[in-house]
């Protein structure tokens, strides 16, 4: 399934999404020291914050962001991780960090942070290409900065 993104006018968004972005802004500016404090200041539950935090960005913030953190479940077979890294390199997504769990039951979780500033906003297309690779069972964006 391809991730789809929408630009939506602020007055149409549910209150929880708006307050999540407000809490994230307090944290970015250092006006709140913890997620609990930021959520409390904007009148949002922490569970709602965690529900929306990785999926809501202001248009201004999204245009400045250049690092995406991807989580992937890969089959534990020779060459699967190499194919993933090759695709990232071919897409000009410079790998900044990589972490792999110990494979359990034939699967390993790999978390990769990539510089997306040079892929020209083509992150959804890159995700689709990663998902289509043999041995890649799941790929999601778990963070942007």
This prediction's pTM? 0.55
In the chain, what is the straight-line distance between the N-terminal and C-terminal CA atoms, in Å? 24
The predicted structure's pLDDT at residue 59: 67
Residue 54's nearest CA partner among 65, 95, 30 is: 65
Taking only the tens of pLDDT, the chain with its 145 residues reads 566 777 788 899 999 999 999 999 898 889 999 999 999 999 999 999 999 988 887 766 655 557 889 999 999 999 999 999 999 988 887 888 999 999 999 999 999 998 887 674 578 888 899 999 999 999 998 877 6
Whether 57 and 71 share a structural domain: no
Residue 125: CATH number of its domain: 3.30.70.260
Look at the chain and report how many structural domains it folds into. 2
The residue segments making up the domain with residue 21 are 10-63
Whether 72 and 25 share a structural domain: no
Whether 78 and 21 share a structural domain: no
Whether 89 and 31 share a structural domain: no
Whether 109 and 129 share a structural domain: yes
The predicted structure's pLDDT at residue 73: 96
């Amino acid at each position: 399934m391809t991730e789809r993104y929408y630009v939506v006018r602020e007055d149409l968004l549910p209150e929880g999404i708006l307050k999540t972005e407000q809490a994230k802004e307090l944290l970015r500016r250092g006006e709140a020291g913890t997620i609990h404090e930021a959520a409390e200041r904007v009148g949002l539950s922490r569970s709602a914050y965690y529900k929306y935090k990785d999926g809501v960005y202001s248009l201004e913030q999204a245009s400045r962001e250049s690092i995406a953190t991807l989580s992937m479940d890969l089959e534990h077979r020779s060459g699967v991780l190499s194919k993933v890294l090759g695709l990232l390199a071919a897409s000009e997504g410079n790998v900044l960090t990589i972490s792999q769990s110990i494979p359990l039951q034939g699967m390993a979780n790999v978390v990769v942070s990539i510089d997306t500033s040079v892929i020209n906003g083509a992150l959804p297309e890159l995700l689709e290409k990663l998902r289509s690779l043999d041995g890649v069972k799941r790929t999601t964006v778990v963070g942007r900065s």
